[in-house]
Amino acid sequence: MSEHKHEQHRHGHACECESCHGSEHRHENTLPKVHAALNEEPEIFSESYELTFKQESSTLPVQEALLHWGGEILRWVKNKHGFVGHIKGFSEGTEHFWFSSTGKAINIKSSSGWSEGMDKKFTINATAIIFGTPKKELAEYARQCLELSIATKCPDSTLVRK
């Protein structure tokens, strides 16, 4: 590259401008919003709940509700132009189920008897570590979304925040 072309790049990154963009290429000195969000402190939603059913119930609706919650948080953060640090949840009764995401796929793990399990009472922990969203807004949305996910997937249950 010529000396003149180096002068256009005052923000300090290497770029093969002529080869990828042509000779009239220019750069902005502003960071994309996602990169700017990384410079902020993350906001954290982390709450524990007790979920009880009137009678023993399959563990699978609890799993469906938690996975739905995780997916909704991922969509919400994307729409807010935020950045996911970590989203995770855990449900424990006689058996246990765990899920986690750092912004793309949701990974799941469970104890060997989870899929066939029946239980009446569960402890649920839900956490979302998010960059670029207001704390109050994250807390309100995450809580409301969890309550709605449980109410929809587990209609015969009661969810109480610990």
Statement: residue 159 has pLDDT above 70: yes
Check which CATH number belongs to the domain holding 66 and give it.
Answer: 3.30.70
Q: How many domains does the chain have?
A: 1
Confidence class of residue 37 from pLDDT cuts 50, 70 and 90? low
pLDDT digits (tens, 9 = 90+) for 128-138: 999 999 999 99
The answer to whether position 98 is within a domain reads yes
**Joined tokens for residue 59:** 């563990």
The answer to whether position 19 is within a domain reads no
What pLDDT, on a 0 to 100 scale, did the predictor assign at position 128? Answer: 98
- Host domain of residue 76: 43-161
Residue-by-residue DSSP string for 66-90: HHHHHHHHHHHHHHTT-EEEEEEEE
The answer to whether position 33 is within a domain reads no
Rounded to whole angstroms, the maximal C-alpha distance in the chain is 76
The answer to whether position 128 is within a domain reads yes
Confidence class of residue 40 from pLDDT cuts 50, 70 and 90? confident
Helix (H) or strand (E) segment spanning residue 60: helix 60-79
Look at the block and give the residue holding tokens 């969890």: 146
Distance CA 153, CA 31 (A): 41
What pLDDT, on a 0 to 100 scale, did the predictor assign at position 68? Answer: 98
What pLDDT, on a 0 to 100 scale, did the predictor assign at position 13? Answer: 38
Smallest Cα–Cα separation from 71: which of 108, 110, 104? 104
The answer to whether position 37 is within a domain reads no
